[in-house]
């Protein structure tokens, strides 16, 4: 299914979007990637959503990426005898390992690893940062704090520790079971929550054993500080602004978002901007102007994808939310300023033959009347490098690898077409020309650019470029030699 935009849309599935009709409608409205949130739903429910997505994919002959988002280690307080308590500013409050129900003076925090890492002066945030505590004394099984910002604290509210790199594995026991389940199921991407260090990514990659690409969610200050190393270890990135905005001052998030998006693009790795993009559409059929501007900003920055969370998973208007994103994307990408911004930020370092080939393909396409860049790819790398160039013409990735086609559904501007195995470059040119005509990118007398690697079916060998006509007889007539 050809999209008339370059940025991709990720839609989270949930109670509001778990049946065949809604999932198909979401894809037809513009969802390129479906996110399965492993924090919610039984394995049987996840498997059913996966089955429906693959059914829609088969019926529409449109590669769809499935992203399984692992829950990660959740830090939560225990329970209170009264269900909740009001913490007053300046009051003392103790967190400890005592499993007795809490009151206005203390509560259980069943995470000894937090106490082991805390220092006096550290900050603890409770309930998405609504309550702020400052550590005044701590030991191996307790933390005495002062309430800096008070409020209502209730059972099992989440705790964030922004000042400290916690000695926590990014994968809990639940995550390991979920990872094995979804990899066997056949998802395309694994999102890792609360990544703090590159070792977290390497551990997940070892467990995945190549069955899914690894996407790291940047939602902790420690991940921002070690971003380059985490990016090197990852196949993609999600700028998860929810927890990032809790653990950092909110004014820090926009410049961090811009910086991370540009860094991902320079490394030819897809990046998703996520969280609260059209939050009001959970309950309203229309977004706010500020939300539309937020979505537009992520597109102007050159993000590969923008994501809906509760809007499509639990909201009243899931299809309308996707349609709104699609409309905003088309309008932004039609704006001449968009091209100016995108091209001004093209600062990729080119050190390989493949880098040179895709840069040349983009340059030729933009200085002559080329309709589409057709890149043959096994692993997806050539398509990712082409997408990094952000060309003005469409990118058509040709591959015989179903998994590659699905993973590339997350990447900017890449439209995937399945092809059979090829042995000669002329076959590739003929196949690309036929697909360009069939998909509506070009007509018989138009020209296309074709990139490929010779010998065929060997990943990482992109070394040839040809400008070719779309008419088969002309391809033979202009065959070199």
24, 54, 74, 76: which is the annotated catalytic residue?
Answer: 76
12, 123, 145, 275: which is the annotated catalytic residue?
Answer: 275
Burial letters 274-306, b for 16+ CB under 10 A, else e: bbbbbbbbbeeeebeeebbebbbbbbbbbbbbb
Would you state the structure tokens that stand for residue 353, as one six-digit string? Answer: 């033959």
To which H or E segment does residue 399 belong? strand 395-399
- How far apart CA 431 and CA 438 sit, in angstroms, is 10
Nearest to 400 by CA among 380, 384, 372: 380
- How far apart CA 362 and CA 375 sit, in angstroms, is 11
3, 5, 217, 466: which is the annotated catalytic residue?
Answer: 217
DSSP secondary structure string for all residues of 230-263: HHHH-SEEEEEHHHHHHHS-GGGHHHHHHHHHHH
5, 35, 371, 437: which is the annotated catalytic residue?
Answer: 35
CA within 13 Å, CB half, 285: 0
402 is catalytic: no
Distance of CA 395 to CAs 300, 338, 435, Å? 19, 18, 12
35 is catalytic: yes
Distance of CA 99 to CAs 84, 166, 237, 275, 478, Å? 16, 22, 38, 34, 79
Residue 119: CB atoms within 10 A of its CB come to 10
132 is catalytic: no
**How far, in whole angstroms, is CA 228 from its chain's centroid?**
17
106 is catalytic: no
**Per-residue H/E/C for 169-227:** CCCCHHHHHHHHHHHHHCCCEEEECCCCCHHHHHHHHHHHCCCCEEEEEECCHHHHHCH
Would you state the structure tokens that stand for residue 177, as one six-digit string? Answer: 């079971």
Neighbouring-strand partners of residue 169: none
The set of catalytic residues is: 35, 76, 217, 275
């Amino acid at each position: 299914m050809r999209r008339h935009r370059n940025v991709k849309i990720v839609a989270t599935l949930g109670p509001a979007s778990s049946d065949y009709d809604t999932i198909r409608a979401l894809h037809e409205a513009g969802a390129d990637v479906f996110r399965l949130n492993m924090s919610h739903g039984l394995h049987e429910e996840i498997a059913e959503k996966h089955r429906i997505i693959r059914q829609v994919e088969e019926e529409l002959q449109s590669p769809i990426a499935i992203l399984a988002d692992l829950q990660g280690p959740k830090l939560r307080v225990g329970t209170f005898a009264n269900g909740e308590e009001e913490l007053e500013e300046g009051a003392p409050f103790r967190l400890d390992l005592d499993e007795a129900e809490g009151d206005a003076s203390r509560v259980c925090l069943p995470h000894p690893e937090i106490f082991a890492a805390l220092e006096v002066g550290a900050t603890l945030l409770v309930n998405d940062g609504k309550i702020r505590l400052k550590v005044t004394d701590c030991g191996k099984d307790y933390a005495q704090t002062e309430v800096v910002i008070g409020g209502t604290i209730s059972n099992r509210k989440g705790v964030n520790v922004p000042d400290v790199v916690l000695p926590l594995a990014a994968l809990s026991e639940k995550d390991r079971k979920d990872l094995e389940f979804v990899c066997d199921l056949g998802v395309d991407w694994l999102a890792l929550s609360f990544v703090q260090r590159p070792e977290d990514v390497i551990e997940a990659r070892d467990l995945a054993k190549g069955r899914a690409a690894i996407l790291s969610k940047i939602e902790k200050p420690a991940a921002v500080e070690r971003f380059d190393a985490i990016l090197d270890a990852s196949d993609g990135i999600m700028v998860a602004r929810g927890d990032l905005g809790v653990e950092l001052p909110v004014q820090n998030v926009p410049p961090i978002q811009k910086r991370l998006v540009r860094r991902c693009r320079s490394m030819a790795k897809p990046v998703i901007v996520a969280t609260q993009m059209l939050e009001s559409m959970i309950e309203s059929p229309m977004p706010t102007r500020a939300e539309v501007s937020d979505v537009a900003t992520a597109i102007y920055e050159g993000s590969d994808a923008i994501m809906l969370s509760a809007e499509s998973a639990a909201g009243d208007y899931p299809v309308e939310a996707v349609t709104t994103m699609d409309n905003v994307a088309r309008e932004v990408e039609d704006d001449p300023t968009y091209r100016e911004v995108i091209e001004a930020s093209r600062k990729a370092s080119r050190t390989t033959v493949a880098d040179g080939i895709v840069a040349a393909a983009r340059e030729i396409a933009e200085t002559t009347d080329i309709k589409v860049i057709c890149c043959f790819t096994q692993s997806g790398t050539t398509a990712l490098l082409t997408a990094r160039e952000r060309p003005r013409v469409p990118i058509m990735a040709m591959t015989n690898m179903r998994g590659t086609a699905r993973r590339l559904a997350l990447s900017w501007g890449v439209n995937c077409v399945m092809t059979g195995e090829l042995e000669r470059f002329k076959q590739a040119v003929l196949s690309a020309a036929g697909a360009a005509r069939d998909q509506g990118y070009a007509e018989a007398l138009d020209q296309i650019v074709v990139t490929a690697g010779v010998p065929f079916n060997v990943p990482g060998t992109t070394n040839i470029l040809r400008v070719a006509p779309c008419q088969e007889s002309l391809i033979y007539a202009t065959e070199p030699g």
